[in-house]
Chains A and B, each alone.
Chain A
Amino acid sequence: MSDGLPDGVERRPFDGRERLATRGSPVYGEPTDGDWRAWDASRSKLGAMLSRGLDTGLTGGEPVLYLGAAAGTTVSHVADFAGPTYAVEFAPRPTRDLLDAAAPRSNLFPLLKDAREPASYAHVVEPVDAIVQDVATRGQAEVALRNRRFLADDGRLLLAVKARSEDVVADPGDVFERVLEDLRSGYEVLATERLTPTHEDHLAVVATPRTE
């Protein structure tokens, strides 16, 4: 953990280049080396956060709720190093690929649910130490606030804010300010970082629940 990476995530050489990697069955045609498979940080916002050395608070082995799992590219890596991993995705089409990623991972639980309606999956999801949120919808702060009920008091929200989902024309900087302001009603923001150039117009946010 000296480099801030959770147990089960390592920097390993692939074709002469150091890349993040986890152990698990391949999902999206990523390069592999024995059990290890490269975690493409240009296709994964959480991968970009870890690779930039952001302190995510992830240790490995903990329960995780992943909102906006899409086709499972990132959540498959999360399930490789985390404990029980609940993957919520709203769109049926990418969920088909998510099912393929989840099939060989006994700790990955796919759920076709709307992240704006946590009551529709609270009967399945247990309290977690980390929420990873990457939803392409307006009201991303609101989604994080509604899902706060799943997060342990000292847990971490790892949020990738997509400026274009909130407002296509507004300046991303203004959009991020607005989202952070909304977020602060329920979370304490610990760190933020723009994910350029791999994820243009995305802001990475690490936050923890506010306890009053």
Chain B
Amino acid sequence: MDGTAPSGEGWFGGIDRDDEAAATAAIHDGTADAPDDWPSRAVESGFAADENDYYEILHDATMAATRAAVQEHGRSDVQQLQRVVRAMDDCERVANELAERVAEWAATLFGDAGTGVDYCLGLAERDPDPEQRRVVELARRVRDLDDEATALRRSIERTAPEVAPNLAALAGPVLAARLVSLAGGLETLARKPSGTVQVLGAEEALFAHLRGHAPSPKHGVIYTHEAVRNTHPEDRGSAARALAGKLAIAARADHYTGERRPELDEQLRERVATIRARRDDADEGAEGGADR
């Protein structure tokens, strides 16, 4: 009973009903131009005893294929993101450390020695004397690490919006990746209360506070976010709390629905604007008082 229908074969064509791996592959990779009455055709071809039998096999096969596809995606996406963000941090950290070494060394060999990675980028382009050769080579390693950090950042900017669209939109791709990485995955991040999200990356300060030595930290890695950094120091706690609240919602939306919710962006903007407006009002009030 070879299929003569224009749409070609169903997913069950040419596979053994007990071969789960083959069924998974067929559902995952197969195609057809148009649907067909697959249940009848499966019975006609002898693949299934009757329609009920066919639906039973189909249920098992779609469950197995979809479970495998989901696991594959989850593993690869989030783990890759975690690795990439850690590698980027390593490249930047090592580049900075080496740049310090280079600057210290170059100061003894070059009259115009500067500091930092930018100085190394310039130094790496030079044609050195034999005695300057090693330090210039070291500067070239700094340049290579800097290039690699940039490439890794690009990769995060591409993948973070796929893994966590809302979080990436609100936090920016790199901060989103850091939060996922610190939490140990998107699911664990989605389960954290916003107060925890607020201090992720400030564990040392948090435990010092819990032991009673220190004030509670106002923010962890979310400090790098514009909403916190560009807010007046006295209002940063409020800004960090507002930001963490929205980020927690974004992480939950990403984990549980995967649906982009553009209204979150606007809500965050409004909250931050309100917090900053308080400061402007206070300043104006103070000036007004001085005038009188």
Distance of A33 from chain B, by nearest CB (Å) = 26
A92 B32 Cβ-Cβ under 8 A: no
Could you give, for residues 163-202 of chain B, a 1 whenever the CB lies within 8 Å of some chain A CB and a 0 otherwise? 0000000000000000000000010000000000000000
Contact B73 A119 (CB under 8 A): no
Instruction: Enumerate chain B residues within 8 angstroms of A126, measured Cβ to Cβ.
Output: 35-39
Contact call B257/A70, Cβ cutoff below 8 A: yes
Residue among A70, A95, A123, A150 facing the most chain B CB atoms (10 A cut-off): A123
Cβ of A127: which chain B residues have Cβ within 8 Å of it? 35-37
B27 within 8 A of A: yes
| Bound CA span A93–B39, Å | 29
**Cβ B74 vs Cβ A92 within 8 A:** yes
Tell me whether chain A's interface is mostly helix, strand or loop, or mixed. Answer: mixed
Q: Is A145 interfacial (CB 8 A cutoff)?
A: no
Contacting pair B31 A123 (CB below 8 A): yes
Segment touching A, from B8-16, B97-105, B127-135, B151-159? B8-16
Question: Which of A84, A91, A111, A150 is within 8 Å of B27, CB to CB?
Answer: A111
Interface range on chain A (Cβ under 8 Å from partner): 35 or more
A112 touches B258 (CB 8 A): no
CA distance in complex: A109, B254 (Å): 23
Stretch at the interface among A4-12, A96-104, A180-188: A96-104
Is B31 in contact with A109, judged by CB distance below 8 angstroms?
no
Q: Which residues of B contact A92 (CB under 8 A)?
A: 69-70, 73-74, 77, 258
Q: A-contacting residues of B (Cβ < 8 Å)?
A: 7-11, 26-27, 30-39, 55-56, 58-59, 62-63, 65-67, 69-70, 73-74, 77, 186, 254-260, 262-263
Chain A to chain B contacts (Cβ below 8 Å), 21 pairs: A70-B259, A71-B257, A84-B39, A91-B259, A92-B258, A93-B257, A94-B257, A99-B67, A99-B70, A106-B59, A112-B66, A122-B32, A123-B26, A124-B30, A124-B58, A126-B36, A126-B38, A136-B259, A136-B260, A150-B35, A164-B262
Going nearest first, the 5 A-B pairs with the smallest beta carbon separation are A91-B258, A92-B73, A123-B32, A122-B32, A109-B62
List residues of chain A with CB under 8 Å of any chain B CB.
Answer: 70-71, 84, 91-99, 102-103, 106-112, 119-120, 122-127, 136, 149-150, 164-165, 168
